[in-house]
Amino acid sequence: MNRPLLPLCLLAASLAAAQSTATVSGTIRHQGKPVAGLRIQVISQGSSLFANTSSDGVYRVNGVPAGGGWLQILVHPPVDLRLAFRSWQVNGISGDLVKDFDLNSGYLLSGELRRPDGQLLANSSSLMASPFDRAIPAGEWIFGVVNQGRFELVMLPGSYALETQAPPYFSPPVVVDLRNGDVTGLFIEMLAQRGRPYPTLPPRAEFITVDPPDVDGYATVAAAPGAVLGGAEVAVINLNSHTMALASADAGGSFSARLYAPPGSAVMVKADPFVKNAANVWRDAQTGPSLPPDLNPLPGTIVHAGGAPGLQGAAQRFDSVGAFLSPPERGWAGWWLSGTTELLPAGAGVGRRLRAAGRLRVTSPAMKCAAPSASMLRMNIVHCTPCSRPECPRALKRRTRLWAAVTMVCVKASRGTRLCPVVKRWVP
């Protein structure tokens, strides 16, 4: 009775299979021109299909399984073309898909992957690369195939952290600099045991200096050889103004970065020899009141821009730096307050007049002001008075709050921003 139903079931299954496939197509270009003859690979769960681009750069792959799962498109041109590899993934397709790729020129990275005993790694694996100075497009990653211990891949100019998975061995921290040309003959020796995920020594403060700032308040943080490990990626953060810059150390451990850091700034320097954490910082970097979490495990060093302010005649110099933090649509503004305060004699009591003179500079790329503007400025001054009595702490702190009307005069700055220098005497 049921035998005639069997062919019908097979037919229904065949129709369902036919309806669950799709066509993946697109155009490959370089500098706006089609790239012909490239082999494109389309991988999905359970299939791996290939197609070559035509003379007009078009590829077409039929019979790609549709529905759930994931789908990958690999565009890995021959390395002699020096076109950067592209790898893209999407979580399943419900029908035909069109995906174009615009390729860019890059540099070659080639070398060998070896076991801890020095022998070539026999198993096939992949070499992953994380760029330090840019974000990877959504849905993409960078990798090259390791075949019999040897690898070749082309990547955009930049600095990269390399990582591979080849059980039972562990990947060592490897940094490669492709900013200026090819890197060939790279030798990577796998580890028998997992290495430390973070460095243990901070950058050496005695090798790091903060140069005098320009008219905008921007300064160069420079490090001599030996400041950090060679090839490390360095994060330089102004803890007062909530600004950050990233730099790449050379083979000797020197680096240079430029950021808003007038005198009075506390500048934290953290180095990541493994690059991956710094790469995540670059990806997530934004002006804000807290440090990116990827920086927290890295040991850091704090250097002070301008050094400790000294005496100027009978007055004490001061420098203070901060920032006005606004919603993203309003942007960021850094401020720098510098000047002198009168020294209080020992035993000065309440009601003693204090005279201070200073200048406030405000820098912001978004600031637009053409005429002087009046505002009120509040300044807090804390004086420490020595106290030798046993019941006293080492110093007594006296806080003075000063208010003054100031006139902000806008001056065109070299960086296209505007500064508002103020010269004013405050009297409580």
User: How far apart are alpha carbons 309 and 306 in whole angstroms?
Assistant: 7
Choose the weakest-confidence range: 7-11, 15-19, 321-325, 394-398: 7-11
pLDDT at 154 over 70: yes
Tokens of 120: 């070539």
Q: What pLDDT is recorded for position 421?
A: 36
Note whether 328 and 422 are same-domain residues: yes
Task: State the DSSP code for 15.
Answer: H
Q: What pLDDT is recorded for position 291?
A: 53
Note whether 72 and 127 are same-domain residues: no
Task: State the DSSP code for 241.
Answer: T
For a pLDDT cut of 70, what percent of the chain falls above it?
72
Note whether 144 and 114 are same-domain residues: yes
pLDDT: which is higher, 414 or 150:
150
**What integer is the mean pLDDT of 254-260?**
94
Question: Residue 63: how many CB atoms within 10 A of its CB?
Answer: 12
Q: CATH no. for residue 58?
A: 2.60.40.10
Q: CATH no. for residue 122?
A: 2.60.40.1120
Q: What pLDDT is recorded for position 196?
A: 73
pLDDT at 198 over 90: no
Please report whether residue 65 resides in a domain.
yes
Q: What pLDDT is recorded for position 274?
A: 67
Best mean pLDDT range from 4-18, 131-145, 181-195, 323-337: 181-195
Q: What pLDDT is recorded for position 279?
A: 54
Q: What pLDDT is recorded for position 411?
A: 45
Which of 103, 123, 140 represents a domain boundary (last residue)?
Answer: 103
**What integer is the mean pLDDT of 393-400?**
46
pLDDT at 137 over 80: yes
Note whether 149 and 118 are same-domain residues: yes
Please report whether residue 144 resides in a domain.
yes
**What integer is the mean pLDDT of 6-13?**
38
102, 159, 161: which is closest to 127 by C-alpha? 161
Note whether 84 and 114 are same-domain residues: no
Which of 103, 121, 154 represents a domain boundary (last residue)?
Answer: 103
Choose the weakest-confidence range: 27-36, 56-65, 109-118, 372-381: 372-381
357, 354, 340, 342: which is closest to 424 by C-alpha? 357
Note whether 284 and 358 are same-domain residues: no
User: How far apart are alpha carbons 295 and 382 in whole angstroms?
Assistant: 32
Note whether 394 and 374 are same-domain residues: yes
The one-letter amino acid code at 188 reads I
Q: CATH no. for residue 212?
A: 2.60.40
What does the pLDDT look like over 75-97, one tens digit per residue? Answer: 999 999 999 999 999 998 889 99
- Alpha-helix residue ranges (DSSP H) falling in 145-233: none
Q: Are strands 71-75 and 39-44 parallel, antiparallel or unpaired?
A: antiparallel
Q: What pLDDT is recorded for position 36?
A: 97
pLDDT: which is higher, 79 or 247:
79
Tokens of 167: 């059980």
CA distances from 306 to 217, 262, 265, 392, 423 (A): 12, 7, 8, 32, 20
Q: pLDDT grade, residue 339 (50/70/90)?
A: confident
pLDDT at 379 over 70: no
Q: Is 247 within 8 Å of 279 (Cβ atoms)?
A: no
342, 333, 332: which is closest to 311 by C-alpha? 342
Q: What pLDDT is recorded for position 360?
A: 85
User: What is the average pLDDT value for the chain, to the nearest integer?
Assistant: 79
Which of 304, 327, 358 represents a domain boundary (last residue)?
Answer: 304
Note whether 256 and 349 are same-domain residues: no
121, 271, 289: which is closest to 205 by C-alpha? 271
**What integer is the mean pLDDT of 42-55?**
93
pLDDT at 202 over 50: yes
**What integer is the mean pLDDT of 298-321?**
86
User: How far apart are alpha carbons 136 and 324 in whole angstroms?
Assistant: 31
pLDDT at 7 over 60: no
pLDDT at 171 over 50: yes
Q: What pLDDT is recorded for position 160?
A: 86
CB neighbour list of residue 26: distance below 8 Å, 6 or more residues apart: 58, 59, 73, 98, 99, 100, 101
User: How far apart are alpha carbons 154 and 30 in whole angstroms?
Assistant: 14
For 348, the domain range is: 311-426
pLDDT: which is higher, 381 or 39:
39
Tokens of 88: 């893209």
User: How far apart are alpha carbons 374 and 267 in whole angstroms?
Assistant: 32
Note whether 300 and 339 are same-domain residues: no
How far does Cα 137 stand from its chain's mean position? 15
Q: What are phi and psi of 169, to 5 degrees?
A: -95, 165
Please report whether residue 12 resides in a domain.
no
Q: What pLDDT is recorded for position 419?
A: 35
Structure-token match 């700034």, residue found: 265
236, 213, 239, 242: which is closest to 333 by C-alpha? 242
Q: What is the domain count for the chain?
A: 4
Please report whether residue 252 resides in a domain.
yes
Best mean pLDDT range from 106-120, 191-205, 395-409: 106-120
